[in-house]
Copies of this chain bind each other. A is one copy, B any other.
């Protein structure tokens, strides 16, 4: 009737199910002839062991989880996520481990999702979009759910972390713009309670020596546009803007253009994360590629190591590459042109 079970195989091979189990797991020696009989029977019956039963008995799901609390709309326009997941899967695939994904909105739903993971859906999780003070860290500790954190988490915690140096590329970008003659360099950041946004913003502030031209965005095109408008409306407007992602950068430079500014002649623009289309825009967008695929790989490897019993460890992935393109080419504008002729828009 239904799918064959281990008992069917055992019966067909003339042994008990314990022997079948051992033949596959190798945890007890089984004679070659018996093994052959068992494998033949399994083959003939087309037996696939029930992953449900296996998970219960072995107390392990053979799956790792990712809980995403992003707004679906933002996720859909994000270059990071699919590449990151690809990297994770590239590691898991070789171990017959599956990826369990849950997308939630709201703290309650997120807690529920993590409890579900801890209740046996997954053996461990990868935590993205870490906040500077993140409730999930103590929460996961209390759940005793193995986890790998993506991004530096300073406070005491028992988890492995996968860090990336976000500061260096920002410093390099600022240096690059300075070399071109820019003195008024602005930054439109992501939400500053994210560790990565904060790290980038901090490196920016340190590089330019102040936060006068720092504006906090939220990674959406809308905020990129609005904050660009605000910056360009300043009496002494910036001649260059660094955005925390490409979506905001593109929204920003579209807006600047709509007000009659040329990129990069009147305004230099740089993004972050190097969306796959950014190189094809015109002018092509300077950005920082951060190899999310590789970070996904490293995070998955680290989690598997944790699950194998190795002690937690913090690894740093050196994966950011500055992609200098046309949007920051050429010398800085001479002086700051008179405030925009807004009536011309």
Q: Which A residues have a C-beta under 8 Å from some C-beta of B?
A: 3, 48-53, 55-56, 59, 61, 63, 72-73, 75-79, 81-83, 85-87, 89-90, 93, 96, 98-104, 109, 112, 115-116, 118-121, 221, 246-247, 250-251, 254, 257, 275-278, 280-282, 292-293
Question: How far, in angstroms, from A89 to B72 measured CA to CA in the complex?
Answer: 9
Choose from B3, B112, B119, B254 the contact partner of A51 (Cβ within 8 Å).
Answer: B119
Known: A86-B72, A103-B90. A276 touches B116 (CB 8 A): no
Q: Is the CB of B116 within 8 A of A98?
A: yes
A240-B246 Cα distance, complex, nearest whole Å: 29
Contacting residue for A93 out of B75, B109, B121, CB 8 A: B109
A87 to B, closest residue via Cβ: B72
Q: Which residues of B sit under 8 angstroms from A96, Cβ to Cβ? A: 112, 116
- Complex Cα–Cα for A93 and B71 (A): 13
Q: What's the least CB distance linking A29 to chain B, in Å? A: 27
Return the chain B residue nearest A70 by Cβ: B86
Interface pair A254/B280, CB less than 8 Å apart: yes
A104 vs B97: C-alpha distance in the bound complex, in angstroms? 12
B103 touches A89 (CB 8 A): yes
Give the residue name and chain of the B residue nearest to A105 (CB).
Answer: B93
Q: How far is the CA of A159 from the CA of B116 in the complex (A)?
A: 30
Instruction: Give the docked Cα–Cα distance between A280 and B73 (Å).
Output: 17
- Is B102 a contact partner of A100 (Cβ separation < 8 A)? no
Return the chain B residue nearest A282 by Cβ.
Answer: B282
Known: A72-B89, A75-B82, A82-B82. A99 touches B100 (CB 8 A): yes
Pairwise interchain contact A103-B98, C-beta atoms closer than 8 A: no
The answer to whether A51 touches B121 (Cβ under 8 A) is yes
Knowing A56-B52, A100-B98, A282-B257, say if A86 contacts B82 (CB, 8 Å): no
Query: Smallest distance from the beta carbon of A42 to chain B beta carbons, Å?
Result: 13
**Contacts A76-B83, A77-B276: A50 and B103 contacting too (C-beta < 8 A)?**
no
Taking the closest CB of chain B, its distance from the CB of A114, in whole angstroms, is 10
Q: Evaluate contact between A52 and B120: CB separation under 8 angstroms.
A: yes
Q: Assess the B102–A90 pair: CB atoms within 8 A.
A: no
B293 adjacent to A280 (CB under 8 Å): no
Separation in Å of the A103 CB from the closest CB of chain B? 4
Residue numbers in B under 8 Å from A63 (CB-CB):
100, 121
Determine the chain B residues whose CB is within 8 A of the CB of A246 once the complex forms. Answer: 277
> Per a CB cutoff under 8 Å, which of B76, B120, B250 touches A82?
B76
A76-B293 contact in complex given A52-B55, A118-B48, C-beta closer than 8 Å: yes
Given the contacts A55-B52, A86-B72, A102 and B109 also touching, CB distance less than 8 Å: no
Residues of B within 8 A of A221 (CB): 276, 280
User: Are B72 and A90 in contact, CB atoms less than 8 angstroms apart?
Assistant: yes
Assembly CA distance A119 to B280 (angstroms) = 44
Specify which chain B residues have a CB less than 8 angstroms from the CB of A82 in the assembled complex: 75-76, 78, 81-82
Q: Which of B61, B85, B276 contacts A52 (CB 8 A)?
A: B61
